[in-house]
Each structure stands twice: as structure tokens, then as C-alpha cells.
Amino acid sequence: MEFPSNPFRTFGGVRAPHRKNTAKSPAVMMPPPEQVIIPLCQHIGAPCNPIVKLKDPVFVGQKIADSPAFVSAPIHSSVSGTVTAISEITLVNGQSVKAVTITSDGTMTTDPNIQPPSFESREGFLKAVRESGLVGLGGAGFPTHVKLNIPPGKNVDTLLINAAECEPYITTDHRELLENSEAILDGIFVVLEQLSIARAIIGIESNKPDAIKLLRDMLAKDPRNSDRKVAVLALRARYPQGAEKVLIQAATQRIVPEGKLPLDVGCVVMNVTSVGFLGNFLKTGMPLITKRVTVDGSAVNTPQNVIVPIGTKVCDLISFCGGYKTEPKKMTLGGPMMGSALFSDEHPIIKQNNAVLAFNEKDSRISKPTACIHCGFCLEVCPMHLMPVMLEKYTEVNNVDELKNLSIMTCMECGCCSFNCPATRPLVHSIRLGKAMIRKADAAAKAKAEEEAKKAAEAQAEKSAD
């Protein structure tokens, strides 16, 4: 198979400071906390329903919630202990979800039913992936068994492994590359075989030369790669190189059209930690119950990478990292560009989280926005060729039609426009509001159309009865 020796050019992006302070910090395993709070929706799609009751004993890796919906992923216990609450909690994205609280018995006893999956067909493989609870671990949270279920008629020739990790501060994928490289390759070769995909490209930003060298050396010696179907591509270290559409263009020169998916241009994209997890799961059968998380920021005593039981409260994780150095004025789940502001450190770590950042007062200050000076700097850096300044204007006046005309829904909320704005306009915030307006308007239009259709059907039925 042909591989590009250099990445193809992509539009936009910014030179955000990398601040990869924990790149040399091998991940340490956090002991089980006294209690975990496991939300029953940690993915895009239908929330799960609990299949355990109050006071039930549970094991590590035991399934505790599932859903009959196709777009969903089961949830497993990350500790052994007892179910002590099933309650409603609010996640950082404002979503209200059910959560199972498990009080740990400290023994971390594994579910005796856990064993490596066996499968003889693509369907069997996808079923095993579903049972693992795997979702996109780069932050998207899309159920992996759905992503890998390539519909008939779609011709996919490239598996893209996203190891760009372009967000400042976060180093979990970098550590995954260094610490779990064998499982990453195992996962890649299984996916290529099961989905009959011709090649895989592992995209790594050039600011991780140790990981690039390690993976290249391993692939050169791997007998499974004698026909050279897997290669590493060193990407430009420029944010947002890891955004799905940007990565596809950088690695294949293909452009995903508006409203289309990577499948439509022959690509499946998987995060490197997802494929590494898959490699381990296929050997052990242990479902997704831990997450590697970068803990960093000026308010944290000991920044480091930690492997955390899912459901661990942020405050317990911070305590494990030596506690707060000073009172945090701003905390995020995820990086500074795309992460979500954390309203409480009682929030649990979920599958998609890859960083907890806590900043002191000085580092949390944001300049007051001033009036737009029409410089156009926000347009110059938008990888999606949008006009952020106009999206902000039309959001302010609630002009849903113009927002749609300007393709607001294709905004991936990368934050490049806000980052580059000399007037520090909160452009992404406005764009999120604009998208919410469209969703609200569309839902209202749908409800109105359904109501009218219902009335028309009733009128027709009355007429027929006459």
C-alpha cells in the first residue's frame, strides 16, 4: 500500500503552546477510592439502565448497566464492593443522568466470569467490542462497535489511528504510545483483519519523536507488517491536528464533505488509546473500567499521569496527586481548548475524560472582551472555513436561517477562532448558543409538523366516517 511520507497541507489552525509538562511522567495506578460514582451515560447515544440494585455486591469488571439501543455502550464496575446509591447526577455538559454509587471493599476482586472473548466472524467481533463498553476515548465517546460497523456499500481502505494529541497539557495518548505499544499494534492488526481494511496510518504529532521512533522500530520488526500495511505518519505539531476531519486531510488528502462521515471518504478513525484498550481487551476480556488521565495546572501539587478507576471523584484524584497547591480558580475536564469547565470537584471521571486541569487565580484570568475590530483573524485560522465573527453576530440576533446558511453545525468547537481573536471575543461560546438555537427551532418545527399531520389524519378519518 502507498503511504504519504509527509502530511498533506491543511487549512487553518494555531500554534498553541504545547505545555506538555507531564510527557515524561509514566502513568501510575491509583488505588481504589472509598467510593466511585459511575454515570450510566458515558457515550453519545442512549443512556443505559441499571441492572444492579441497591445493596447488591459487585465485582471489578461486572456489567452494571446496559441498553437495548444500538447506539449505546454497556457500563461496568471499576471496583468491587456494594451498590450504595442509584441516583441522578448532572454531568459537566449539563446532562442529567442516572449514576450508580459503589462503596469499595478495597479488595478489587475481579468478576469470575471475565474471560477473553472468542469470535469467528465480523459480527462476533463487533459484539465483543460492544460488550467491552468501548467508546471513543479521545473525548468523543461514540460507541466503537457502531463506528466499526461499516454499512454495506461503503468502501473503506484506511484505518486512521489518531495519536496527534494536539491539545495543550494533555499527554495521556503520548504515554499510551510509550507504555502500551504492543497492545496498540495488536488492536490495529485485529481491526484491519476483521473489517478487511487494506492499511492503517498512525498519525502522531512531530513533538513526540520518542513515540514515533518506537512505533516505527516495532513495525519494522513485526512479521504481521511484512507487507507494510501499517505506517506511522509524523504530523505537523499544530493545533487542531487531531480533529477528525483535519487528520483525514493531513493523512489522505481527502476532504469529508459537509454532513458526511469519514466512512464516506473511505476512512475509519480510531483514537490510539481506544485501539490500545481493544488490544488488551481481546487478550484479557477485562472491559473498560479505568482511564489514563493527565492531572496538571498551576494549582496542583504533583502534576502527573494517573490510571484512574472510572467513577473516581476529581477531588480524590487530586488528593492522590498531592492535593491543591493553592485554591483553584478554574478547573477543566479536558484541555484548555476543548475541555469543559468543571463546576465541582465532586464530579466523577468518565470514559471520555483524559485530563483534569486546575489553575490558580493568575492563570485563570481572562481578558474582558472588547468590540470586534473586523480584522478577520478568526476566519484565517478556522479549519472548517467558517466565518466565526458572523456566526457570533447572527447568534446575537437569533437568526437561525443565516446560521444554517453559514454552516454553523459544521463547527467542531476547536476554539482556534477565540484563541486568535485580539478582541478576546467569546466566539465558541456564541457558536454553541447558536447551535442550541437551531436544535430548538428544528425540534419546534418537527413538533408542529407532527401536530399538523395528526390533525390532517383525524380530519381525514372523520371525513371517511361520514
- Residues making contact with ligand SF4 (CB under 6 A): 372-378, 381-384, 386, 388-389, 411-417, 421-423, 425, 427-428, 431
Residues near 243 by beta carbon (within 8 Å), at least 6 away in sequence: 166, 383, 412, 414
- Taking the complex as a whole, the smallest distance from the CB of residue 416 to ligand SF4 amounts, in Å, to 4
- Find the helix packing angle between 209-221 and 181-195, rounded to 10°: 60
- Between 65 and 386, CB nearer to ligand SF4: 386
Identity of the residue, 231 or 378, whose beta carbon is nearer to ligand SF4 in the bound complex: 378
Q: In what order do the strands lie in the sheet with 199-205?
A: 230-235, 199-205, 158-163, 267-271
Q: Which residues contact 86 (CB under 8 A, 6 or more apart)?
A: 50, 52, 53, 54, 98, 99, 100, 101
137 or 417: whose CB is closer to ligand SF4?
417
Q: Which is nearer to ligand SF4, 185 or 414 (CB)?
A: 414
Q: Which three cell numbers stand for residue 179?
A: 507504555
Q: At what angle do helices 272-284 and 172-179 cross, to 10 degrees?
A: 40
The residue among 324 and 377 lying less far from ligand SF4, judged by its C-beta, is 377
Give me the phi and psi of 309, to 5 degrees please.
-60, 130
Closest separation in Å from C-beta 256 to ligand SF4? 13
Whether 431 contacts 374, CB under 8 Å = no
| Distance between CA atoms of residues 213 and 208, nearest Å | 9
Residue with Cβ nearer ligand SF4 (373 or 453): 373
CB closer to ligand SF4, 299 vs 428: 428
Q: How far is the CB of 422 from ligand SF4 (least distance, A)?
A: 6
Closer to ligand SF4 by Cβ: residue 133 or 434: 434
CB of residue 116 to ligand SF4, shortest distance in Å? 41
Residue 278 or 416: the one with the smaller Cβ distance to ligand SF4 is 416
Report the alpha-carbon distance of residue 453 to residue 444 in Å, rounded. 14
Q: What is the CA radius of gyration of the chain?
A: 23
* Closest approach of ligand SF4 to the CB of residue 92, in Å: 18
Say which DSSP state 158 is in.
E
Whether the Cβ atoms of residue 231 and residue 2 lie closer than 8 Å to each other: no
Q: What is the DSSP letter of 367?
A: P
- The answer to whether the beta carbons of residues 398 and 360 sit under 8 Å apart is no
Q: How far is the CB of 354 from ligand SF4 (least distance, A)?
A: 19
Compute the least distance from the CB of residue 224 to ligand SF4, in Å: 38
Shortest Cβ 374–ligand SF4 spacing (Å): 5
Q: Which is nearer to ligand SF4, 375 or 459 (CB)?
A: 375
Q: How far is the CB of 242 from ligand SF4 (least distance, A)?
A: 13
Nearest-approach distance from CB 257 to ligand SF4, in angstroms: 16
**Strand, helix or coil for residue 215:** helix
Cβ neighbourhood burial of 117 (10 Å; 0-12, 13-18, 19+): middle
Smaller CB separation from ligand SF4, 225 or 407 = 407
**191: closest CA among 242, 143, 122?**
122
- Min dist CB 284 to ligand SF4, Å, is 39
Please state, in angstroms and rounded to a whole number, the distance separating the CA atoms of residues 141 and 129.
14
- Among 16, 27, 173, 40, smallest CA distance to 96 is for 40
Burial (0-12, 13-18, 19+ Cβ within 10 Å), 78 = buried
Between 317 and 391, CB nearer to ligand SF4: 391
Helix, strand or coil, per DSSP, at residue 21: coil
Q: How far is the CB of 419 from ligand SF4 (least distance, A)?
A: 8
Amino acid at 442: D
